[in-house]
């Protein structure tokens, strides 16, 4: 296998690096919460966790999924931001936090989205649910469908708001999945989560995420609270190109959820770095292809490859490749022909497929006979 210069250079630098292991980062801070999770957005690496798979009440963290479904409907063209939604009596009467819409009046989808995200309006959630699916119950079926698609295997929704119900539950790990998907899939709507206040019907309400005022790197995401769930916060922050996501569920106060989230974020940024090793669809190596129109094909990764590792450890990374014993045509673009494994001090930090970057058709009869003869001697 012949390497292109960038991969060859990186491998050489890694081989020449010192092999003396550096001291690991200190353990993460103790977090006073029922469950929490800190993860890098790009690599998915988990930097701190406790009870990440424990079933917990999400309260208004539910609205991350509510928004995700609404954004999908907007993207599909089923609804528009300019749509005027007539407020039903059910939406108007929904208890809990609200944006103060009035029964019988029309409100734009755009205003309802802002009221749902910034004001955490339960009334806005129900109005949007009814506009999208005809009823909140039908909308909840869409929420659970998306939860399954995203791999949220320990989540079940029964409403669009997060109001308490014994069958309404999730986990910190599952909430992280939908949060990551929302930021990735809908970057055009994500900036709403950084807005500090919203005014509707002459009433101005502030975003309950206190970190938006305290930490300029924080740009989301959502708070939640009920008496049984406690105080919850999903926070997202970006510093020097590195984005971290924290999920803190079941703290004892508004201040506690902000402080605990801040501690997790500070820990992650202080002791870890995220590196993009390779871009998607960029040639990393060329390999022999037997019985094809072409004798070789470029290999690469299908998605950008990020790793999150302790600071100062980049030169300790080691790359290992494993290919099929024999690669023969026909070969499809995107077809997996091997694996690329990234290790740090003997531990695997990432493993991804190596894929063909283009099609290779089967060669002609004479070419195939020649390659068959060569294979006899390989």
Same domain? 264 vs 285: no
Strand partners, 171: none
Residue 120 bears catalytic tag? yes
pLDDT in tens, 208-247: 999 999 999 999 999 999 999 999 999 999 999 999 999 9
Chain centre distance of CA 56: 20
Is 348 inside a domain boundary?
yes
Indicate whether 29 belongs to any domain. no
Same domain, 267 and 283: no
Residues 235 and 325 in one domain: no
2 pLDDT exceeds 60?
no
Q: Are residues 264 and 208 in the same domain?
A: yes
**Do residues 342 and 222 share a domain?**
no
Question: What is the reported pLDDT for 1?
Answer: 47
| 27 is a domain residue | no
Higher-scoring residue by pLDDT: 360, 159? 159
Spot the catalytic one: 34, 39, 43, 60.
60
Asked if residue 136 and residue 253 are part of one domain, the reply reads yes
- For 181-210, what is the mean pLDDT? 98
Q: What is the mean pLDDT of residues 102-125?
A: 98
Judge whether residue 18 has pLDDT over 50.
no
Domain assignment of residue 26, yes or no: no
- Work out the pLDDT band at 328, boundaries 50, 70, 90: confident
Handedness of CA 154, 158, 162, 167 (dihedral sign): negative
More confident: 349 or 4: 349
| pLDDT (0 to 100) of residue 370 | 53
Same domain, 205 and 330: no
260 backbone dihedrals φ, ψ, rounded to 5°: -65, -40
Q: Rounded to a whole number, what is the distance in angstroms from the first to the last CA of the chain?
A: 15
What's the average model confidence in pLDDT over 57-77?
98
Burial class of residue 240 in the structure, from the number of CB atoms within 10 Å of its CB (0-12 exposed, 13-18 middle, 19+ buried)? exposed
- At 7 the pLDDT is 56
pLDDT of residue 325: 86
Same domain, 134 and 245: yes
Model confidence band, residue 264 (pLDDT cutoffs 50, 70, 90) = very high
The tokens for 9 are 């250079």
Give the residue among 134, 139, 86 at the shortest CA–CA distance from 109. Answer: 86
Active site residue 39: no
Question: Does some domain include residue 25?
Answer: no
Could you tell me if residue 342 is inside a domain? yes
List the CATH number of the domain containing 372: 2.60.410.10
What is the percent of the chain where pLDDT is above 70? Answer: 89
Same domain for 44 and 7: no
323 and 263 within one domain:
no
- The residue among 271, 301, 318 that closes a domain is 271
Catalytic residue among 34, 39, 43, 63: 63
52 within some domain: yes
Q: What is the pLDDT of residues 272-295, one digit of tens each?
A: 999 999 999 899 989 888 667 888
Note down the domain range covering 53.
35-271
Active site residue 217: no
Asked whether residue 152 is assigned to any structural domain, the reply reads yes
Transcribe 14-62 into DSSP letters.
Answer: HHHS--SPPPPPPPPPP--SSEEEEEETTT--EEEEESTTS-B--GGGH
| Residue 11 confidence (pLDDT) | 53
Please pick, among 39, 43, 97, 120, the residue that the annotation labels catalytic.
120
Same domain, 255 and 148: yes
Tell me the whole-structure pTM to 2 decimals. Answer: 0.90
Integer Rg of the chain from CA? 25
CATH code (residue 170):
3.40.710.10
Domain count along the chain? 2
Backbone conformation region of residue 74, classed left if phi is above 0, alpha if psi is from -120 to 50, else beta: alpha
Last residue of a domain, one of 271, 300, 320: 271
Q: Are residues 213 and 287 in the same domain?
A: no
Range list of H helices, 82-202 = 89-93, 109-117, 122-133, 136-149, 172-185
Residue 116: C-alpha distances to residues 60, 197, 222, 347, 375 (Å): 10, 12, 10, 43, 65
Domain boundary residue, one of 223, 246, 271: 271
């Amino acid at each position: 296998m012949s390497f292109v210069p960038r991969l060859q250079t990186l491998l050489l630098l890694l081989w020449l690096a010192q092999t003396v292991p550096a001291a690991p980062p200190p353990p993460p801070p103790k977090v006073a919460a029922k469950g929490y999770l800190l993860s890098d957005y790009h690599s998915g690496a988990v930097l701190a966790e406790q009870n990440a798979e424990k079933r917990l009440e999400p309260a208004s963290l539910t609205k991350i999924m509510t928004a995700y479904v609404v954004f999908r409907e907007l993207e599909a063209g089923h609804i528009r931001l300019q749509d005027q939604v007539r407020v039903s009596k059910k939406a108007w009467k929904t208890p809990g936090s609200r944006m103060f819409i009035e029964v019988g009046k029309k409100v734009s989808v755009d205003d309802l989205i802002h009221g749902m995200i910034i004001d955490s309006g339960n009334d806005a959630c129900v109005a949007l649910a009814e506009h999208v699916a005809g009823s909140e119950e039908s909308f909840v079926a869409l929420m659970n469908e998306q939860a399954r698609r995203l791999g949220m295997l320990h989540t079940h929704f029964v409403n669009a708001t997060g109001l308490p119900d014994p069958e309404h539950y999730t986990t910190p790990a599952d909430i992280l999945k939908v949060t990551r998907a929302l930021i990735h899939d809908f970057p055009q709507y994500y900036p709403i989560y950084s807005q500090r206040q919203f005014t509707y019907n002459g009433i101005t309400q502030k975003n309950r995420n206190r970190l938006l005022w305290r930490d300029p790197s924080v740009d989301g995401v959502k708070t939640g609270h009920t008496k049984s769930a406690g105080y919850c916060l999903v926070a997202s922050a970006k510093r020097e190109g590195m984005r971290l996501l924290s999920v803190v569920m079941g703290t004892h106060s508004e201040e506690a959820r902000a402080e605990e989230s801040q501690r997790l974020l500070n820990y992650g940024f202080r002791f870890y770095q995220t590196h993009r090793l390779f871009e998607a669809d960029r040639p990393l190596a060329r390999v022999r292809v037997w019985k094809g129109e072409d004798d070789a094909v470029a290999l690469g990764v299908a998605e950008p490859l990020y790793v999150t590792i302790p600071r100062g450890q980049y030169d300790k990374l080691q790359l290992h490749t494993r290919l099929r014993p024999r690669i023969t045509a026909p070969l499809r673009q995107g077809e997996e022909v091997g694996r690329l494994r990234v290790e740090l001090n003997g531990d695997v930090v990432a493993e991804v497929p190596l894929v063909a970057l283009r099609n290779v058709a089967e060669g002609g009869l004479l070419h195939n006979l020649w390659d068959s003869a060569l294979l006899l001697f390989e």
